[in-house]
Amino acid sequence: MIQAVILASDETHLTNFSGSKVFHALYMTLGNIYGHIRRQPQSGAWVLLAILPSSSFTQTLLNLTSPQSYVKLNKNQAASLPGILKQCLYHECMAIVIDPLCYAKRRSCFVLGPGNKIHSSMACLVGYIADMKEQFMIACVTPRACPICLAQPRLHNSTIQDHCTAKPHTGSSTLDVLYRVRNAHPDVPIWKFRTLVSKEKCGVSGYVEHPFWEDLDVGPSHFICQDLLHGAHKFFWDHPCKWIASLIGTECLDRRISLLPKEGLHHFKSGISKLKQASGREHRDLLKYIAPALAGAPRVTPQFRDFILALLHIIMIIQLPMLDDNILGELDKHFEVMYANADEAISLGLRKNLWIPKLMALTHFCQDIQLGGVSSNWSSETPETLHKLLPKSLYGQTNHKDYHIPMLEMLTVHETKRVRHEYIQWRSSIQSSQHPNPPLDHTQNYGIKIAQRPHKQGVAITSLTAKSGSLAGLISAICKFSAEADATASTSTATHQVSGTYDLSSPWFPRRYNKLDLWWSYRLTIPPFNEFYERETRTIWCKTVEDHQKSKWKGYGSCVFVLAHPKRHGIHSMSATTLKGP
Ligand SMILES: [Zn+2]
């Protein structure tokens, strides 16, 4: 059995707007775990494998500026030294972490596999999720080259199409260049080595002489995965959206987007130009607004429109939860349309060239999908969420000074508690059902979530009904709900037939509902259609019609009854009705 190791690393700031405490986390999961479990950050499928040190090397032991210094560096070499040291430190640390996966040191071990059988298993690195900046560092290439293939736009004047046909940028091709330069110049220091490697003009950066993947049997072109969040969603926000705004005017684009009806998506009521920071969801939702906002806009040529539509089609298709050869064939057609109309952005004066690393990376999604499955397997959205759950929440519990060791200790305690809890659950499931591997039940995720404290507590029902005559149906609904709850609780088969309208004097109206706790919103969790889909969460606003007219929230007047057991936690029974507003 192969244990498919997937790594993800990302840098995050521990503090907002103060200090520069950077946390470079390396997470690990296994490709053998079901995708829908792996995509849930709280499922325990991801572990914090290492904290990589990061330093900007503003001070080193080499006194570079002193005239007496024995090391003589020119201005360019001195400027590149912090970058060289930073990359060397990253690769040295990663080499320690990755050591058990090296070809020569890899050993098989026996693990308990599916069906409670002992399997001989071997770990192998199959994927590495990282943003574009880190991809260049891992592959040891310059930002002018592609980490996946040998097409180099700035050096060899190649076009976007060349990324489809170019040979892969294998680990051995990079190592060949590094070894060749080192053999020719055995005594040069690292800052001169970098200059000599860059003169080879093959896209290798030369910052690092011994990459961490040197002893692995896979190269970076195989294990680096295209990231959906940065490579597709953020790319569209950062580049094509800016081109459209400068073509038709920022105000025009904002107005067109704000006028579009909101259809269960984030509504950009003031447009997009004034948004300083956008979340992943906003990036995704904008893609659905752009095409109608572009329709009939001034200065938009048919070629430019086709180029943007082809890009939208490509991004929409690569994020589908299920893909087959027919859909991938369709994707090729959209790529052809994109290539045919790509130069229009240059003709319209929006760009000088199309040498954008993320646009180039878009062409490699197809190859990733064929090799490693759907692109949601490789989105950096999960590591970004893990940052909030692990480092940021643990850092808040420390004294903010010597925080690394306390954070790791807290993490060990959390991890041990979780593993113990899951072991106890697994044991009890065996004892109770005699089925060690129960089938996955996707409907178990179904539910309603409400805030622990009500938004308004102990409101008299008479004041609610006096406020608005339209709440007359509420009392009848409570009577019906109460009668149904009684019928469920009692074992007698005779059920009360409660229908029609009732008022407060009705014998069916329970006195305990004279005062009600009110929630103005609740979250409804809809179970996934199958294992390829994620469960969906919707916020439902349920303010009364009068309250909702006063506030900015646009509610639908839905009402939820919650029956809580006084001695137990959580929600045990619920029923919903709809209020009819004027
Ligand atoms: Zn490429």
Cα-to-centroid distance, 310 and ligand 1 (Å): 19
Q: How far is the CA of 24 from the centre of ligand 1 (A)?
A: 26
Q: What pLDDT score was predicted for residue 305?
A: 92
Rounded to an integer, what distance in angstroms lies between the CA atom of residue 457 and that of residue 523? 19
Inter-residue contact 347 to 302 (CB < 8 Å):
no
Question: Which H or E element spans position 467?
Answer: helix 461-467
pLDDT of residue 88: 93
pLDDT of residue 139: 92
| Structural tokens at position 290 | 């752009």
> Would you state the pLDDT for residue 310?
93
Cα 147 to ligand 1 centroid, rounded to whole Å:
7
Tell how far the Cα of 165 is from the centroid of ligand 1, in angstroms.
9
Distance in Å, CA 132 to ligand 1 centroid: 12
Q: What is the pLDDT of residues 251-283, one digit of tens each?
A: 888 888 888 877 666 778 777 887 777 777 788
Tens digit of pLDDT for each residue in 91-150?
999 999 999 888 777 788 888 877 778 888 888 899 999 988 899 999 999 888 888 888
In this structure, the strands spanning 573-578 and 536-541 are unpaired
Please tell me the distance between residue 359's alpha carbon and the centre of ligand 1 in angstroms: 10
Structure tokens at 452: 């622990």
pLDDT, residue 575, reads: 41
pTM of the model: 0.71
SS3 track for 65-78: CCCCCCCCCCHHHH
Dist. CA 136 → ligand 1 center (Å): 12
Q: How far is the CA of 563 from the centre of ligand 1 (A)?
A: 58
Pair of tokens at residue 465: 């009904």
Q: How far is the CA of 207 from the centre of ligand 1 (A)?
A: 20
Q: Which of 29-38, 435-444, 468-477 has the lowest mean pLDDT?
A: 435-444
The reported pLDDT for the residue numbered 6 is: 93
How far does residue 83's CA lie from ligand 1's centre (Å)?
Answer: 24
**Cα 134 to ligand 1 centre (Å):** 16
Reference 319, options 7, 532, 536; nearest CA is 532
Residue 302 CA to ligand 1 center (angstroms) comes to 28
Query: Directed axis angle between helix 325-341 and helix 302-318, to 10°?
Result: 150
pLDDT category at 308 given cuts 50, 70, 90 is very high
Report the separation in Å between the CA atom of 153 and the middle of ligand 1, taken as the mean of its atom positions: 9
Q: Across all residues in the chain, what is the average pLDDT? A: 79
Residue burial 273-299, b: 16+ Cβ < 10 Å; e: rest: eeeeebebebbbbbbebbeebbeeeee
d(CA 412, CA 197) in angstroms, rounded, equals 43
In which band, very low, low, confident or very high, does the pLDDT at 571 lie, cut at 50, 70 and 90?
very low
Banded model confidence at residue 18, pLDDT cuts 50, 70, 90 = low
Predicted pLDDT at 154: 59
Count of beta carbons in the 10 Å neighbourhood of residue 187:
6
Tens-digit pLDDT profile for residues 459-492? 888 777 666 555 667 788 788 877 777 777 665 5
CA of 182 relative to ligand 1 center, distance in Å: 26
How many angstroms does the Cα of residue 150 sit away from the middle of ligand 1? 6
Distance CA 211, CA 152 (A): 21
Q: Is the pLDDT of residue 367 over 80?
A: yes
Residue 522 CA to residue 451 CA, distance in Å, equals 7
Tell how far the Cα of 371 is from the centroid of ligand 1, in angstroms. Answer: 16
Q: Measured in angstroms, how far is the CA atom of residue 420 from the centroid of ligand 1?
A: 45
Element (H or E) spanning 414, and its range? helix 404-433
Cα gap 353→345, rounded to integer Å: 9
State pLDDT tens for residues 489-541: 665 544 556 667 777 777 778 888 888 888 877 777 777 666 666 677 777 77
Strand partners, 574: 562
In the numeric block, which tokens belong to residue 33? 């775990």
Does position 443 have pLDDT exceeding 50, yes or no? no
pLDDT of residue 144: 82
Ligand 1: centre distance to CA 187 (Å):
33
* 577 pLDDT higher than 80: no
556 — pLDDT class (breaks 50, 70, 90)? very low
How remote is the CA of residue 373 from the centroid of ligand 1, in Å? 19
CA of 448 to the centre of ligand 1 (A): 46
**Phi, psi (rounded to 5 degrees) for 581:** -85, 165
For residue 472, report the distance from its CA to the centre of ligand 1, in Å.
Answer: 66
Amino acid at 506: S
146-194, pLDDT tens digit by residue? 888 887 765 556 677 777 778 888 889 899 999 999 999 888 888 888 8
Tell me the CA–centroid distance for residue 327 and ligand 1, in Å.
22
- What span, in angstroms and rounded, lies between the C-alpha atoms of 540 and 563? 19
Distance 379 CA to ligand 1 centre (A): 19
Ligand 1 midpoint to CA 11 (Å): 24
- pLDDT: which is higher, 349 or 498: 349
Backbone conformation region of residue 454, classed left if phi is above 0, alpha if psi is from -120 to 50, else beta: beta
What string of DSSP letters covers 512-559?
A: GGGEEEE-SEEEEEEPPSSTTSPPEEEEEE---HHHHHHSS-----EE
Q: How is residue 347 annotated by DSSP?
A: H
Q: Residue 29: its pLDDT value, please?
A: 93
Rounded to whole angstroms, the maximal C-alpha distance in the chain is 101
